[in-house]
Amino acid sequence: MTQIPKKHVIAVLIDNEFGALARVVELFSARGYNIETLSVAPVSSDKKLSRITITTYGTDKTIDLICKLLNRIVPVHNAVELSKNIDYIERELALAQIICSKEQLDNACEAIKDFRCQIIDREEDSTVFEIIGTSANIDNVLEILNNYGLATVSRTGISAGFKGKKRLDQI
């Protein structure tokens, strides 16, 4: 296994209770690992089960150990590194506000028309785009919007899962 830090995507099914997220996050911080993105929300109809998606950078060996340690946490049902298997899907959502003239806005819309973006709010010279895609695509859009008065950005971090029929709760 390589000892070079690289990107890893981890998905966790966990009881939706206080302290649970802290237990997960502390496994990373205790090893000096930064969590790049984190998304968490209840996913079962009774709201008792949450799903967490984490991206982080680390060595394969440490991430392997972290996944085992995640599974040892009492409220965790399953924890799996999705990126270990290249067949995974990910999406992220971002809100990007640009402040510019009407003419510049038209140019901006033209420049990003090939991406999944739509305007969800406008007030005077302020426009907010909703951008959906892979993290890389969102990076690309933001890069372009930099030229059109990009003011504020809010990103959700990725949600991710296996490709095909495989399910996290059936691992």
* Site residues, other proteins (CB under 8 A): 14-15, 18-19, 22-23, 26, 30, 64-65, 68-69, 71-72, 74-78
Closer residue to other proteins in complex, CB, 68/122: 68
| Exposed/middle/buried for residue 61 (C-beta within 10 Å: 0-12, 13-18, 19+) | exposed
Closest to other proteins by CB, 65 or 128: 65
**Alpha-carbon distance values, 154 to 57, 67, 98 (Å):** 21, 28, 12
Report the residue number, 71 or 104, with the smaller CB distance to other proteins.
Answer: 71
Q: Terminus-to-terminus CA distance in the chain, angstroms?
A: 22
Question: For other proteins, which is the closer residue by CB, 6 or 72?
Answer: 72
CB of 95 to other proteins, least distance (A): 31
Strand order, beta sheet including 6-15 = 35-42, 49-58, 6-15, 76-81
Q: How far is the CB of 67 from other proteins (least distance, A)?
A: 10
Instruction: Quote the CA–CA distance of 115 and 156 in Å, as a whole number.
Output: 17
Helices (H) and strands (E) in the chain, counts: 4, 9
Pick between residue 39 and residue 71 the one whose CB is nearest to other proteins: 71
Cα 51 to Cα 41: distance, rounded to the nearest angstrom: 6
| Closest distance of CB 46 from other proteins, Å | 13
Task: State the nearest-atom distance from the C-beta of 10 to other proteins, in Å.
Answer: 15
The nearest distance, CB 158 to other proteins, in angstroms, is 24
